[in-house]
C-alpha cells in the first residue's frame, strides 16, 4: 500500500523521531536520499561520472531549502557544478556553509550556463499554495530545465492536492519525498505535476498514524480479491444483477453487463428493457434474467426510468452500485451503496460547478460522502474512493485513453461483481477502480481503446494480479 499523511501527521511523527536522534540527523538522511536520486536522474553512473554536470538549487527560507543545500554539498563533492540561488533573505545557515565548503557556489541571479537540472527547495510541507514573485521569476529563468522537487513541488497545496488558480506552482519531473507520501502526491490535480515520486525512508514509518489517503498496489489488490476455492459453486461466489440500459441507450446495458462479466462473480443477471436483454443474450449467452442477487448495478443509460429501476433494486436490500441517471435518486440513509459519479454528475449532486469539482476532487468526494453516508467513487484521472469513516483511496492505475464513452459503465458492472463476491463497498470500489485502470493500460498499449476493450482485458489482468500468467 502506498500511504500518504497530512503535514500535521508528518510533523508529529518527525517531532517524536527527532527527540531520539542527534540534531540534524533527519535532514542528513533526507539530503543524502535526495542527492542520490538526483545523481540517478543525471545518469552519473557512466564513464564521465558527475563531472561537468550542472545543478541549480532554488532555495527558500526553511528546511526544504536546507535539504536542497545539504544535497547540493553531496553533489558538489561528487564533482557536480552546484549553484544555489537563494530566494529569500534567510536560508538554512548550516546547509549554506556545507555547500560552500564542498565547493558549491551561492548566486543571486540566473546562471549564465543553462543547468542540466533544477532542484526545487523553495518550500516543502511548510509552504502555502502559490509562489512568491522571486520564486516565480527564478523558475521562469530556467523554464524547460527538468525540475527535481524536494518533498513536494513548491506551490501545491500539500494536504488537499489542490493547485493555485493561476498556475503558480512547480511542475516536477521527479519528486523526492521523505518519511511518507503526502496527499498531494496521490490526489489530483497536484498529483499530475509531481512527476515520478521517490520515497526516501528516514525512519518515520513506525511513528505514523493511519494515513489520510492511500493507493492500492498490485499485492494489495491480490490480497483483497476473492478467487474461488476448491469446492466453489456459482451461487456461493455471488450473483451480480445489472439494471442498466434502455431502448434509448442499449449500449450502457451491454457495457455494464460486460464489466459485471469479468469473472469475479459466479453469475450475472440482467433485468431491463426486452430489446436490450436480447442484445445482452447475444453477446453474453451466460447472462440470465431476474432472480436473487448479492449486489445490484443500477443507472447507466437508464434514462427517465432510473428512479423506478433504482427503487426496485434497493427493495432487495443488497449492496448496490448507483451510477449515472440513478445518482440523483440515491437515498441518503443506505451505507451499503457505492455512488460512482464523474465530475459533472458530482457537480449536479452538490449544486456545484464542474470546474470546481475538477479543481478540488478530494474536497468534493468528501462532501458527497457526508451528504449520502456511503462510499463515493469520484471518477477522474486519479479516481478517488472515499468512505464515511474518513478513509480515502486514490487510484493511480490507468491511462488517459480510458477517458472514452462507456468506460464508466464497465466500471460500474465490475464494482458490482466485486460487491457480489463479498468485498465491502470501500474495497469493491477501490479494487474495481484499480483493475479498471490496469485493464485500460493493458488494452491500450499506448494507443486508443474502446470501453469493450477494457472489459475484455479484465480477466487477463486479474490473472496477472493473482500471480498467474496473462499480463
Ligand atoms: N522537520 C524535519 O525533521 C524534516 C524536514 N525536512 C524538510 O523540511 C521541510 C519543511 O521545512 P519547514 O518547516 O522549514 O518549511 P518549508 O521549508 O516548507 O517552508 C519554510 C517557510 O517558507 C515560507 N513560505 C511559506 N509558503 C511560501 C510560499 N508559497 N512561497 C515562498 N515562501 C513561503 C514560510 O515562511 C515557511 O515557514 C520538509 O518539506 C522537508 O523538505 C526534511 O529535512 C526531513 C526532516
Ligand atoms: N484523464 C484520464 N486519465 C485516466 N482515466 C480517466 C481520465 N479521465 C477519465 N478517466 C476514467 O475514464 C472513465 C470514464 O467514465 P465516465 O466519465 O463515467 O464515462 P461514461 O459515462 O462515458 O462511461 C472513468 O473510469 C474515469 O476515471
Ligand atoms: K519543494
Backbone angles phi, psi at 12, to 5 degrees: -65, -45
Query: In this structure, what C-alpha cell is assigned to residue 92?
Result: 538554512
Q: pLDDT at position 469, please?
A: 52
d(CA 395, CA 46): 36
Distances (CA, A) of 134 to 116, 144, 242, 321: 21, 18, 57, 50
387 lines ligand 2 (CB under 6 A): no
- Ligand 1: which of 12, 69, 127, 151 to mutate, most ligand atoms within 8 Å of CB? 127
- 397: Cβ below 6 Å to ligand 2? no
Tell me if 182 sits within 8 A of 125, measured CB to CB: yes
Pick the ligand that lies closest to the CA of residue 400. 2
Q: Is the CB of 125 under 6 A from ligand 1?
A: yes
DSSP codes of every residue in 379-442: -STT-EEE-TTS-EEE-----GGG-STTHHHHHHHHHHHHHHTT--HHHHHHHHHHHHHHHHHH
Is there a common fold for 2-215 and 218-465? no
Residue 390, annotated as binding a ligand: no
Q: What is the pLDDT of residue 367?
A: 98
Residue 198 labeled ligand binder: no
Q: What is the pLDDT of residue 471?
A: 44
> How far away, in angstroms, is 103 Cα from ligand 3 center?
23
What pLDDT, on the 0 to 100 scale, is given for residue 50? 84
Q: What are the backbone dihedrals phi and psi of residue 453, each rounded to the nearest 5 degrees, phi first?
A: -60, -40
- For ligand 1, whether the C-beta of 427 sits within 6 Å is no
- In sequence order, the β-bridge partners of residue 86 are 59
95 is in an annotated binding site: no
CB 408 within 8 A of CB 379: yes
CATH topology of domain 218-465: 3.40.1190
With H, G, I as helix, E, B as strand and everything else as coil, classify residue 320.
strand
Q: 2-215: what CATH class?
A: alpha beta
Q: Which of 123, 133, 177 to mutate to test the pocket of ligand 1 (most atoms within 8 A of CB)?
A: 123
For residues 256 and 254, what is the distance between their CA atoms, to the nearest angstrom?
6
Query: So what's the pLDDT on residue 333?
Result: 85
408 is in an annotated binding site: yes
- The pick from 70, 124, 184 for probing ligand 1's pocket by mutation, whose C-beta has the most ligand atoms within 8 angstroms, reads 124
Judge whether 63 is annotated as a binding position: yes
| 126 labeled part of a ligand binding site | yes
Nearest CA owner, ligand 2 atom 7: 381
List strand residue ranges (DSSP E) for 26-79, in order: 54-59
Ligand 3 mean position to 392 CA, how many Å?
25
> What is the ipTM score, two decimals?
0.93
Fill in the DSSP letter of residue 329.
G
Q: Match 494515513 to its residue by C-alpha cell.
A: 211
| Cβ of 383 less than 6 Å from ligand 2 | yes
Whose alpha carbon is nearest atom 12 of ligand 2?
Answer: 403
Kindly list the domain boundaries of the chain, sorted by start residue: 2-215, 218-465
Nearby residues for ligand 3 (ion, Cβ within 5 Å):
120, 149-150, 154
Report CA(155)–ligand 3 centroid distance (Å). 8
296-319 pLDDT tens trace = 999 999 999 999 999 999 999 999
What distance in Å separates the CA atoms of residue 338 and residue 321, rounded to the nearest whole number?
5
DSSP H or E stretch at residue 350 = helix 343-350
* Burial class of residue 225, CB neighbours in 10 A (0-12, 13-18, 19+): middle
Rounded CA gap, 435 and 462, in Å? 7
CA of 14 to the centre of ligand 1 (A): 13
Q: Known binder of ligand: residue 382? A: yes
Q: Which of 87, 61, 60, 82 is nearest to 71 (CA)?
A: 82
204 lines ligand 1 (CB under 6 A): no
Query: What pLDDT is stored for residue 44 in this prediction?
Result: 73
**CA 236 – ligand 2 centroid, Å:** 32
Grouping H, G, I as helix, E, B as strand and the rest as coil, residue 146 is coil
Instruction: Check whether 52 is labelled as a binding-site residue.
Output: no
Q: Is ligand 2 within 6 A of the CB of residue 398? A: yes
Decide: 419 and 294 in contact? Cβ < 8 Å: yes
Ligand nearest to the CA of 452: 2
Please report, in tens digits, the pLDDT of each residue of the chain (471 residues total): 999 999 999 999 999 999 999 999 999 999 999 999 999 999 876 666 788 899 999 999 999 999 999 999 999 999 999 999 999 999 999 999 999 999 999 999 999 999 999 999 999 999 999 999 999 999 999 999 999 999 999 999 999 999 998 889 999 999 999 999 999 999 999 999 999 999 999 999 999 999 999 999 999 999 999 999 988 899 899 999 999 999 999 999 999 999 999 999 999 999 999 999 999 999 999 999 999 999 999 999 999 999 999 999 999 999 999 999 999 999 998 999 999 999 999 999 999 999 999 999 999 999 999 999 999 999 999 999 999 999 999 999 999 999 999 999 999 999 999 999 999 999 999 999 999 999 999 999 999 999 999 999 999 999 999 997 544
Amino acid at each position: 500500500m502506498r500511504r500518504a499523511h497530512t503535514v500535521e501527521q508528518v510533523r508529529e511523527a518527525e517531532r517524536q523521531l527527532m527527540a531520539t536522534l542527534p540534531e540534524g540527523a533527519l535532514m542528513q538522511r533526507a539530503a543524502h536520499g535526495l542527492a542520490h536520486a538526483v545523481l540517478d536522474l543525471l545518469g552519473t553512473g557512466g564513464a564521465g561520472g558527475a563531472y561537468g554536470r550542472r545543478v541549480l538549487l532554488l532555495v527558500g527560507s526553511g528546511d526544504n531549502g536546507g535539504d536542497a543545500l545539504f544535497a547540493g554539498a553531496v553533489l558538489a563533492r561528487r564533482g557536480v557544478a552546484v549553484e544555489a540561488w537563494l530566494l529569500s533573505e534567510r536560508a538554512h545557515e548550516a546547509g549554506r556553509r556545507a555547500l560552500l565548503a564542498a565547493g558549491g557556489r551561492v548566486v543571486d541571479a540566473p546562471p549564465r550556463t543553462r543547468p542540466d537540472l533544477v532542484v526545487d527547495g523553495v518550500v516543502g510541507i511548510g509552504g502555502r499554495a502559490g509562489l512568491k514573485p522571486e520564486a516565480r521569476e527564478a523558475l521562469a529563468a530556467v523554464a524547460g530545465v527538468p525540475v527535481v522537487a524536494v518533498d513536494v513541488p513548491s506551490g501545491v497545496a500539500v494536504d488537499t492536492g489542490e493547485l493555485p488558480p493561476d498556475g503558480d506552482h512547480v511542475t516536477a519531473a521527479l519528486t523526492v519525498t521523505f518519511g511518507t507520501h503526502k496527499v498531494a502526491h496521490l490526489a489530483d490535480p497536484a498529483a499530475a505535476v509531481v512527476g515520478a515520486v521517490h520515497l526516501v525512508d528516514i525512519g518515520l514509518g513506525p511513528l505514523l498514524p493511519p494515513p489520510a489517503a492511500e493507493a492500492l498496489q498490485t499485492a494489495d489488490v491480490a490480497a483483497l480479491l476473492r478467487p474461488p476455492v476448491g469446492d466453489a459453486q456459482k451461487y456461493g461466489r455471488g450473483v451480480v444483477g445489472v439494471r442498466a440500459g434502455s431502448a434509448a441507450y442499449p449500449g450502457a446495458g451491454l457495457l455494464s453487463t460486460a464489466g459485471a462479466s469479468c469473472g469475479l462473480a459466479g453469475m450475472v443477471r440482467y433485468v431491463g428493457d426486452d430489446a436490450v436483454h436480447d442484445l445482452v443474450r447475444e453477446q453474453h449467452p451466460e447472462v440470465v434474467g431476474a432472480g436473487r442477487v448479492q449486489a445490484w448495478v443500477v443507472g447507466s443509460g437508464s434514462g427517465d426510468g432510473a428512479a423506478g429501476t433504482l427503487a426496485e433494486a434497493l427493495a432487495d436490500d443488497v449492496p448496490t452500485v448507483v451510477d449515472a441517471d440513478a445518482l440523483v435518486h440515491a437515498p441518503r440513509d443506505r451505507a451499503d451503496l457505492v455512488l460512482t459519479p464523474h465530475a459533472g454528475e458530482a457537480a449536479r449532486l452538490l449544486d456545484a460547478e464542474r470546474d470546481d469539482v475538477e479543481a478540488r476532487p478530494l474536497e468534493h468526494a468528501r462532501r458527497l460522502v457526508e451528504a449520502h453516508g456511503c462510499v463515493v467513487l469520484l471518477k477522474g484521472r486519479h479516481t478517488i474512493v472515499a468512505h464515511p469513516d474518513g478513509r480515502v483511496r486514490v487510484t493511480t492505475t490507468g491511462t488517459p485513453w480510458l477517458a472514452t464513452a462507456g468506460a464508466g459503465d464497465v466500471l460500474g458492472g465490475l464494482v458490482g461483481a466485486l460487491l457480489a463476491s463479498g468485498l465491502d463497498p470501500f474495497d469493491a470500489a477501490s479494487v474495481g477502480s484499480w483493475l479498471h485502470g490496469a485493464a485500460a493500460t493493458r488494452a491500450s498499449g499506448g494507443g486508443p481503446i474502446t470501453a469493450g476493450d477494457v472489459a475484455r482485458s479484465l480477466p487477463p489482468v486479474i490473472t496477472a494480479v493473482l500471480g498467474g500468467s496473462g499480463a
